[in-house]
Amino acid sequence: MQLYAHPFSSYCQKVLIALYENGIPFEWRMLSPDHADVLAEYAALWPLQRMPLLVDGGRSVMESSIIIEYLDTHHRGAVRWIPQDPDAALEVRMMDRFFDNYVRTPMQGIVLDHIRAPAQRDVSGVADARKLLETSYRWLDGALARREWAAAGGFSLADCAAAPSLFYADWVHPIDPALANVRAYRSRLLARPAFARAVDEARPYRKLFPPGAPDRD
Ligand SMILES: N[C@@H](CCC(=O)N[C@@H](CS)C(=O)NCC(=O)O)C(=O)O
Protein backbone atom coordinates (compact mmCIF):
# COMPACT_ATOMS: atom_id res chain seq x y z
CA MET A 1 0.00 0.00 0.00
CA GLN A 2 1.06 3.56 -0.60
CA LEU A 3 -0.03 6.48 1.56
CA TYR A 4 0.09 9.91 -0.03
CA ALA A 5 0.45 12.14 2.97
CA HIS A 6 2.42 14.72 4.91
CA PRO A 7 3.50 14.06 8.51
CA PHE A 8 2.31 17.47 9.79
CA SER A 9 -1.24 17.17 8.40
CA SER A 10 -3.85 16.39 11.02
CA TYR A 11 -6.01 14.26 8.67
CA CYS A 12 -2.91 12.29 7.69
CA GLN A 13 -2.01 11.72 11.33
CA LYS A 14 -5.52 10.36 11.90
CA VAL A 15 -4.81 7.55 9.40
CA LEU A 16 -1.19 7.10 10.53
CA ILE A 17 -2.45 6.26 14.03
CA ALA A 18 -4.55 3.42 12.59
CA LEU A 19 -1.63 2.11 10.50
CA TYR A 20 0.90 2.33 13.35
CA GLU A 21 -1.42 0.83 15.98
CA ASN A 22 -1.81 -2.35 13.97
CA GLY A 23 1.71 -2.38 12.51
CA ILE A 24 0.43 -2.31 8.93
CA PRO A 25 3.27 -1.84 6.42
CA PHE A 26 2.94 0.86 3.78
CA GLU A 27 5.09 3.02 1.55
CA TRP A 28 5.19 6.75 2.24
CA ARG A 29 4.46 8.95 -0.77
CA MET A 30 5.51 12.30 0.66
CA LEU A 31 3.38 15.25 -0.43
CA SER A 32 5.78 18.15 -0.35
CA PRO A 33 7.16 20.67 -2.84
CA ASP A 34 10.46 18.68 -2.83
CA HIS A 35 8.70 15.74 -4.51
CA ALA A 36 7.12 17.13 -7.67
CA ASP A 37 6.72 13.63 -9.16
CA VAL A 38 4.69 12.47 -6.15
CA LEU A 39 2.54 15.61 -6.26
CA ALA A 40 1.79 14.95 -9.93
CA GLU A 41 0.82 11.31 -9.25
CA TYR A 42 -1.42 12.43 -6.40
CA ALA A 43 -3.16 15.11 -8.50
CA ALA A 44 -3.83 12.51 -11.19
CA LEU A 45 -5.19 9.97 -8.70
CA TRP A 46 -7.32 12.41 -6.70
CA PRO A 47 -8.01 15.70 -8.45
CA LEU A 48 -9.58 17.14 -5.29
CA GLN A 49 -6.11 16.85 -3.68
CA ARG A 50 -7.21 16.37 -0.10
CA MET A 51 -4.75 14.24 1.82
CA PRO A 52 -4.38 11.48 2.87
CA LEU A 53 -4.94 9.14 -0.06
CA LEU A 54 -4.36 5.41 0.27
CA VAL A 55 -3.62 3.26 -2.77
CA ASP A 56 -3.89 -0.50 -2.32
CA GLY A 57 -3.18 -2.75 -5.29
CA GLY A 58 -4.24 0.00 -7.66
CA ARG A 59 -7.41 0.86 -5.72
CA SER A 60 -7.60 4.45 -4.49
CA VAL A 61 -9.24 5.06 -1.13
CA MET A 62 -9.89 8.63 -0.08
CA GLU A 63 -11.29 10.36 3.03
CA SER A 64 -9.61 9.60 6.35
CA SER A 65 -12.61 7.88 8.01
CA ILE A 66 -13.21 5.72 4.93
CA ILE A 67 -9.52 4.80 4.76
CA ILE A 68 -9.68 3.61 8.38
CA GLU A 69 -12.86 1.64 7.69
CA TYR A 70 -11.12 0.17 4.63
CA LEU A 71 -8.16 -0.89 6.79
CA ASP A 72 -10.58 -2.49 9.27
CA THR A 73 -12.09 -4.53 6.45
CA HIS A 74 -9.06 -5.40 4.31
CA HIS A 75 -6.03 -5.13 6.63
CA ARG A 76 -7.51 -6.06 9.98
CA GLY A 77 -5.25 -5.94 13.04
CA ALA A 78 -5.49 -6.36 16.80
CA VAL A 79 -7.27 -3.03 17.24
CA ARG A 80 -10.68 -2.95 15.54
CA TRP A 81 -11.64 0.52 14.39
CA ILE A 82 -15.42 0.02 14.18
CA PRO A 83 -17.16 -2.22 16.72
CA GLN A 84 -19.19 -5.18 15.50
CA ASP A 85 -22.25 -4.14 17.49
CA PRO A 86 -24.32 -1.78 15.29
CA ASP A 87 -25.22 0.63 18.10
CA ALA A 88 -21.64 0.79 19.36
CA ALA A 89 -20.55 1.39 15.75
CA LEU A 90 -22.97 4.32 15.48
CA GLU A 91 -21.47 5.89 18.59
CA VAL A 92 -17.94 5.55 17.17
CA ARG A 93 -19.00 7.07 13.85
CA MET A 94 -20.84 9.90 15.60
CA MET A 95 -17.77 10.77 17.70
CA ASP A 96 -15.59 10.58 14.57
CA ARG A 97 -17.91 13.14 12.93
CA PHE A 98 -17.88 15.26 16.10
CA PHE A 99 -14.07 15.55 16.08
CA ASP A 100 -13.78 16.21 12.34
CA ASN A 101 -16.68 18.66 12.06
CA TYR A 102 -16.70 20.47 15.38
CA VAL A 103 -13.06 20.38 16.55
CA ARG A 104 -10.86 19.96 13.48
CA THR A 105 -12.85 22.20 11.12
CA PRO A 106 -12.90 25.26 13.44
CA MET A 107 -9.24 24.59 14.36
CA GLN A 108 -8.30 24.59 10.67
CA GLY A 109 -10.36 27.74 10.08
CA ILE A 110 -8.27 29.58 12.68
CA VAL A 111 -5.02 28.19 11.26
CA LEU A 112 -5.87 29.05 7.66
CA ASP A 113 -6.81 32.61 8.59
CA HIS A 114 -3.13 33.15 9.46
CA ILE A 115 -2.18 32.40 5.85
CA ARG A 116 -4.44 35.15 4.50
CA ALA A 117 -3.16 38.61 3.71
CA PRO A 118 -4.08 40.98 6.57
CA ALA A 119 -6.74 42.69 4.43
CA GLN A 120 -8.38 39.32 3.68
CA ARG A 121 -8.63 38.12 7.30
CA ASP A 122 -12.02 36.69 8.28
CA VAL A 123 -12.51 38.22 11.74
CA SER A 124 -16.07 37.04 12.25
CA GLY A 125 -15.31 33.56 10.83
CA VAL A 126 -12.48 33.18 13.36
CA ALA A 127 -14.70 34.42 16.20
CA ASP A 128 -17.34 31.82 15.19
CA ALA A 129 -14.67 29.11 15.05
CA ARG A 130 -13.49 29.99 18.58
CA LYS A 131 -17.07 29.95 19.87
CA LEU A 132 -17.65 26.53 18.30
CA LEU A 133 -14.44 25.19 19.85
CA GLU A 134 -15.55 26.45 23.28
CA THR A 135 -18.91 24.69 22.91
CA SER A 136 -17.25 21.51 21.63
CA TYR A 137 -14.74 21.41 24.48
CA ARG A 138 -17.51 21.90 27.07
CA TRP A 139 -19.72 19.20 25.54
CA LEU A 140 -16.78 16.81 25.26
CA ASP A 141 -15.85 17.32 28.89
CA GLY A 142 -19.25 15.96 29.89
CA ALA A 143 -19.14 13.15 27.32
CA LEU A 144 -15.75 12.00 28.66
CA ALA A 145 -16.82 11.73 32.30
CA ARG A 146 -15.94 8.22 33.52
CA ARG A 147 -14.67 7.27 30.05
CA GLU A 148 -11.10 6.52 28.96
CA TRP A 149 -11.60 6.81 25.18
CA ALA A 150 -14.06 8.68 22.99
CA ALA A 151 -16.55 5.83 22.65
CA ALA A 152 -17.55 3.26 25.24
CA GLY A 153 -16.00 0.14 23.72
CA GLY A 154 -12.30 1.15 23.77
CA PHE A 155 -9.79 2.80 21.44
CA SER A 156 -11.44 3.27 18.02
CA LEU A 157 -11.75 5.30 14.84
CA ALA A 158 -13.11 8.12 17.03
CA ASP A 159 -9.80 8.35 18.94
CA CYS A 160 -7.84 8.42 15.66
CA ALA A 161 -9.95 11.46 14.75
CA ALA A 162 -9.66 12.99 18.21
CA ALA A 163 -5.90 12.84 18.71
CA PRO A 164 -4.62 15.26 16.03
CA SER A 165 -7.71 17.47 16.13
CA LEU A 166 -7.45 18.11 19.88
CA PHE A 167 -3.66 18.32 19.63
CA TYR A 168 -3.75 21.26 17.20
CA ALA A 169 -6.99 22.78 18.55
CA ASP A 170 -5.34 23.24 21.95
CA TRP A 171 -2.49 25.09 20.22
CA VAL A 172 -4.79 27.65 18.58
CA HIS A 173 -7.49 27.83 21.28
CA PRO A 174 -6.22 26.39 24.59
CA ILE A 175 -8.55 24.05 26.45
CA ASP A 176 -9.71 25.69 29.68
CA PRO A 177 -7.94 24.03 32.67
CA ALA A 178 -11.39 23.67 34.27
CA LEU A 179 -12.25 21.10 31.55
CA ALA A 180 -10.14 18.46 33.26
CA ASN A 181 -11.66 15.51 31.38
CA VAL A 182 -10.74 16.95 27.98
CA ARG A 183 -7.23 17.90 29.06
CA ALA A 184 -6.62 14.46 30.58
CA TYR A 185 -7.98 12.78 27.43
CA ARG A 186 -5.62 14.85 25.24
CA SER A 187 -2.72 13.72 27.47
CA ARG A 188 -3.81 10.06 27.23
CA LEU A 189 -3.90 10.37 23.44
CA LEU A 190 -0.39 11.87 23.43
CA ALA A 191 0.84 8.95 25.53
CA ARG A 192 -0.55 6.39 23.07
CA PRO A 193 2.59 5.10 21.22
CA ALA A 194 1.04 5.26 17.73
CA PHE A 195 0.09 8.93 18.14
CA ALA A 196 3.37 9.76 19.95
CA ARG A 197 5.17 8.40 16.88
CA ALA A 198 3.09 10.55 14.51
CA VAL A 199 3.74 13.62 16.67
CA ASP A 200 7.49 12.89 16.70
CA GLU A 201 7.61 12.45 12.94
CA ALA A 202 5.89 15.82 12.54
CA ARG A 203 8.22 17.71 14.91
CA PRO A 204 10.62 18.91 12.17
CA TYR A 205 7.72 20.69 10.46
CA ARG A 206 6.48 22.74 13.41
CA LYS A 207 8.07 25.87 12.00
CA LEU A 208 5.48 25.61 9.18
CA PHE A 209 2.53 26.07 11.57
CA PRO A 210 1.01 29.35 10.32
CA PRO A 211 0.04 30.82 13.74
CA GLY A 212 3.43 29.74 15.16
CA ALA A 213 3.74 26.52 17.15
CA PRO A 214 3.95 26.76 20.94
CA ASP A 215 7.02 25.30 22.65
CA ARG A 216 5.16 22.22 23.90
CA ASP A 217 3.20 19.22 22.64
N1 LIG B 1 -12.45 15.09 4.56
C2 LIG B 1 -11.07 14.86 4.23
C3 LIG B 1 -10.29 16.12 4.54
C4 LIG B 1 -8.84 16.03 4.12
C5 LIG B 1 -8.16 17.39 4.18
O6 LIG B 1 -8.80 18.45 4.12
N7 LIG B 1 -6.82 17.35 4.26
C8 LIG B 1 -6.06 18.58 4.27
C9 LIG B 1 -4.77 18.38 5.06
S10 LIG B 1 -5.03 18.17 6.80
C11 LIG B 1 -5.67 18.93 2.85
O12 LIG B 1 -5.43 18.08 2.04
N13 LIG B 1 -5.59 20.22 2.57
C14 LIG B 1 -5.12 20.67 1.29
C15 LIG B 1 -5.96 21.78 0.76
O16 LIG B 1 -6.90 22.20 1.45
O17 LIG B 1 -5.67 22.22 -0.36
C18 LIG B 1 -10.56 13.63 5.01
O19 LIG B 1 -11.18 13.24 6.01
O20 LIG B 1 -9.57 13.02 4.58
Q: How far apart are CA 57 and CA 127, in angstroms?
A: 44
Ligand 1 atom index nearest CA of 65: 19
User: 51 CA to middle of ligand 1, Å?
Assistant: 5
Give the mean pLDDT of 184-191.
Answer: 98
**Global pTM value:** 0.98
> Can you give the pLDDT at residue 156?
98
In short, whether 64's Cβ falls inside 6 Å of ligand 1 is yes
Q: With bands split at pLDDT 50, 70 and 90, how would you rate the model's confidence at 63?
A: very high
Q: How far apart are CA 154 and CA 90, in angstroms?
A: 14
Q: With bands split at pLDDT 50, 70 and 90, how would you rate the model's confidence at 24?
A: very high
> Can you give the pLDDT at residue 170?
98
pLDDT per position as a tens digit, 72-131:
999 999 999 999 999 999 999 999 999 999 999 999 999 999 999 999 999 999 999 999
Q: How far apart are CA 97 and CA 65, in angstroms?
A: 9
Ligand 1 atom index nearest CA of 49: 12
